[in-house]
Structure 1
Amino acid sequence: MTSLVVKVILWFIFLSLIWGTSYSEAASIDEQCMHADSCERCLSAHLECAWCTDKEYQVGYRCLSRSQLVKYNCNESDIYENQPVLDVLQSKPLKDYETSDQAVQVTPQRAKLKLVKGNTQQIKLSYRTARNNPLDLYVLMDLTWTMRDDKETLEELGAQLSQTLKNLTANYRLGFGSFADKPIFPMILPQHKENPCAAERSICEPTYGYRHQLSLTDVIPNFTSAVKNSKITGNLDNLEGGLDALMQVIVCTNEIGWKQQARKVVILVTDGFMHLAGEGLLAGITQPNDKQCHLNADGEYTASLDFDYPSLEEIYRELLRRKINVIFAVTKEVEHSYRELSALMNEITYVDRLRADSSNILELIKKSYESLIKRTQFADNSPDFIEMVYYTDCGGQFPSLQKRNFCNNVSLGKQIDFYVDVTLKKYPDNKNYNYQIRVEETSLSEYMDLDVELQRPCPCQEIPDPTNEDGRFQCQNQGYLYCGMCQCDKGWTGTFCTCPTDATNVTSNEFLLQKCRQPLSDTTTSQLVCSNHGDCDCGSCLCDTGYTGPFCECRECLDCDEKLADCFCGQCVCKYGWSENGCNCEGKTDACVGPTAEICSQRGYCECEECQCDEPYLGKFCEVDPEKDNKLCLFYEPCVTCLIQQKQGMGTCDNLTEICSSSDRQDMHRHRFVSDLDLDQDLCLVRMVNKHGIQCDSFFAYQVIDHTNFLIIKDGECDPPDYVALVGYISAFTLLIGLASMFLIFWCIRAKDAREYARFEEDQKSRLLQENPIYRDPVGRYEVPKALSVKYDENPFAS
């Protein structure tokens, strides 16, 4: 039974806490809402604020939370409130490329938002690089004279290029085009127009601007053949018309054969830099590039002499619009220039170094492509009054969400989540409340469409009725109620039409409200009427209980003793002679006056007879500066110097009494010499030259007790060195070292001899032969047997 009672009590306490918290939150919301005097200001005060347009509503505050308005009998159909909406309309799951269907790399694909002014809606956007996504790779090659060996290398690497691309994606196509420069002086010499390679004593075909050789195809032999059949040409300088050619590759969508869903990549191969916009003027070409396709049936760029080179900005915009990436494969000599160019559009370009003969082009394509697919970036076309902010941790690369719209080093198959905060900052001037915003991946045709509706600023559907009695009563019979706000009769103004207008008075309610807003500077005022703590009555604030000030900006002081302090904007300001928070400390400063006769060393203030030091000063009198010398150390230094000189017999200071006295009193500092100092104390240093002419450092500490100064000085003298003893010590030490070295050398020699003799004896014991085994006597010897056989067959000398 006891256990049940305890459980009931605990449950009751839990419910009370929840109800109390909820009540507190509701009260806080209503406090922010209640002083709004118009529907628009009401809805801007807080997301939970609602406005009542019911004419029969009798409560003075029309802006409260919806629950409070209903509680005070406001008709629910007459309540206008914030209604933010976030609905996902299309959300196909992420998937890799399949031959029967396209890949999905961004989800959701479409969502609907209803935005409330000042409120932020957050939508989650997910991205994942699809495996085997189609790749359209167009090789745009500089075929001027210096690139002839690179063309030959590309011919030889055709088959290997196919294998390289297969390792990247199973679905790829190749295209090919070449460029040189505008065929006009000063880009070429007129006399060499038919053979621009004449200066190299060779023959090549006439200079052309750009030639499209092969549309994108998956038949690799066609690519190899196109490269082989292309011709070398030439120009005068080492600047080429690469931008002219690149613009045609970008805008000639049908001729090149770009697929909408493919990752589109142009690899531009060159050993020179490119002419920029404006340099066509050198040849008399002044018409700006029109960003249109000008290829004939043979793939020739026909407008090379009609339009100037495009600008980098035009190239960049078209690349972004058409989702095309560029890889600049350039030689070492121009690499730095192209890296600077790429930095201006780094989300869609990549630069890598090409060897002199282009032998590393396959490696470069692989490396560059992998770099492109490892980066993702999102952009949007939101208007300036809608703010969109992106947050992501890049798939766990960061410990928390970072404010950024891109990620690098994205692993293939790794899902990356972006959280997009969408905020309506202000209403558009054109009164258009419906927009479509596209959030798209900058290098792919993958995007999310947002259907955005802006909540209208308090539309009112009712018909004005100036004769309605209830409405006129709420407006003091000097106006009528329309959409919850008083429309005043002529001669009256104000929130409730209580302010008369005449020749000496203001004539608009907005001007009256402006007088109730606190100025923030010479040109700006607060948006809050009466600081949201009162009502504006004819240009003057009537403050709520607990608030005061001309704009209700101050809280009332609750604990100020009128005898000791004055109340100033919610704070107690102590009267003369009193201090501390409660103004209960008398203003005496004697205890804060240090030996220098300064209050807190002029580095703080005295409060209740204790120094309150300014940053970064420390100490009883704020004398300690962590970055500079201690102020009291400097004050005591002359006195300590005199005392040390006196103790060492260097004479007595003539003005010792004056030097060793406080600035505000004539009592002498008390001192004593000690053998050691407490290291926990703040130590001071005195550096002086003693009677032996030696610079000597001495340490001391100080204490101030009841205005009496105590100095504790470390006792020690810096005596001159005894040179005779020093020479003797050095000589004895040198002799000792020499004897020890000789003994060590002798011992090492004896030990080595002993080891060698022992090894010799061991060899002698194990020796079996007494003569050299490889020695052979050069004299042949034969010994006649002592007994010879008489048999002939045994003895040839037998008879």
Structure 2
Amino acid sequence: MARVVALNLPKSYFRPSLTPHGLSNTLLDDGKQQDFFVAGFGSFVDKTVLPYVNTAPSKWQHPCPHLNETCQSAFSYQHVLTLTDNASEFESRVSQQRISGNMDPAEGGFDAIMQAVTCKEQIGWRNVTKLLVFTSDGTFHMAGDGKLGGVYMPNDGRCHLDARGLYTKSHLYDYPSVAHLAEVLSESNIQAIFAVTGPRLSMYEELSRLIPKSVVGELMEDSSNVVQLIADAYSSLSSTVNLVHSSDLAPGIAIAYDSYCGDSETSGRTQGGECLGVRVNQQVEFSVRIKATTCLPGPQKVVLRVLGVGEEVHIEVATLCDCQCGDTQPYAPHCSGGRGNLTCGICSCQEGHAGRLCECKPEELVDAEAACRDANDTGPVCSGKGQCVCGKCQCNAQASGPLCKCDDAGCERHNGQLCGGNGQCKCGNCECHENYTGSACQCSLETSGCTQEGVVCSGHGHCACNRCHCDAGWFDSHCSRCADCQTPCEEHRNCAECRAFGTGLLWETCSASCNQTVNVVPASATDERWCQTKAEDGSLLIYLIERDKEGAITLTVNGKEGNTTKKTFKLVLSSVLGLVLFGLFLIIVYRIVLEIYDRREFKRFEKERKHAKWNEVNNPLYRSATTTVINPKYNGD
């Protein structure tokens, strides 16, 4: 099961960017993806010091003044969601993210990758195939760029996430270098997928060449192709096999590789530990030569592993620099059980034995490698799938034949299993178990899945691979239905009615037309197996159809109920009358309650009116219509 961490870039207000909401919706809308991976999420901007982000208080709070969206303050990297298979939680957490902004075109993606790789517990990495999906539409800062912001200390390659998932040491440690990222990704068996927009594609392709087991894909502006991009990238990564060794080799140890990649793009034996274009179930072989150029102070450990695979081979290397060559061990067990004497670490074989460990006869060593190849063949011995020992091929586990030419793991698969799990792969062909056939043993010779009531495919098809293949016009799993056919209930209705009650369309020719056995039983409880159809007189006919092994049909009739039309009419009429009467009842009750309420209110009003006490008060707003004016000059004359 693949594990994916999606690292999404918030917007910078100097350019349009990716939408994390759209990416999450597209990624998790693919139901098939949800079956084979879990996903986590983190986001990044850049170091939180000048000149990468604007630290002025107003700009720090609102780093995107030219956008109509509300931005969050800048941060270096924040881990948002630990790996989970809960698609709705993933979508919810991603949809809650807000964009942010920085000042320069480059961003702090390398800091984000370093924290996502090294913080194993916080991210939730497990020992499975691990993918890190890095999405961006910008360039990246790398080691040395931190000096512009006064950050001089080299990146320490450690986890520095706080309880909120924020990277807290971005202002102390410089950006990691490309080589540092390649080292931590390789050591953690994490394969990187750089999903970037078109203008940045060439830059990230150059970066990918420096990071083993990484690929680059072009991401659409709306992230609509993210699922296909990840699928293509994973296919490319899984078809490449890289064998590497630990980076902390002791001085004096040199390692060289030869690879035989079979039928892949790098077929033939080549130098180096890489095979390209490897197919599913294809076997590749690596020959590793470990050489000590000086005497080692003690045993040294060498670790070999395939990038992207959580398995390792540990080798202990020691040098024998002080050999007691004077002491000879006769008939040493080391020399094939006593076929020679061990002197100074080398077997001195007895007469009649030869080889490095005295495991061969002298005549077997005459042109031994030629015996392990086809005539005039200069390719690898034993077809590259085994070792030539004493002129004979000793094949690897998944190869067979005198020259190991047979691939016992290259057969067809069915339902994800070699030979469908119903056979053995021999030299590229499936040898099927009993009752199975087909190129991948996918076809069962049994007929139990085609038989119903003793009849194969209801007589309307043929059985192949334990499945019915119906004749034209017939369908369902047992070819028992057709578009223009009567149902079994319709087919036997007339016979059930005429044989049981002497009525219906066939009552005159019932004996000649109907050969079924009919049993009439008292009315009883029925289930979904019983047919319920309308008889000619409108009554309900209830009966059960049974077929024995010989194909004879028995009809068990459970009586007839009265005319269903009349019953339906009575039921509808009674329902309508009930509704009308109930409605009238509600109206009458409502009017009675309303009348009682009105009467009480009127009585209360009359009582208050009788007890009212009225006082005569002049209106303060009243003005008399007559105005008297006295002339001060008038003396009464």
TM (normalized to structure 1)? 0.38
Higher Rg: 1
Give the TM-score taking structure 2 as reference length.
0.48
- Identify which of structures 1 and 2 has the higher relative contact order when contacts are C-alpha pairs closer than 8 Å and 6+ apart: 1
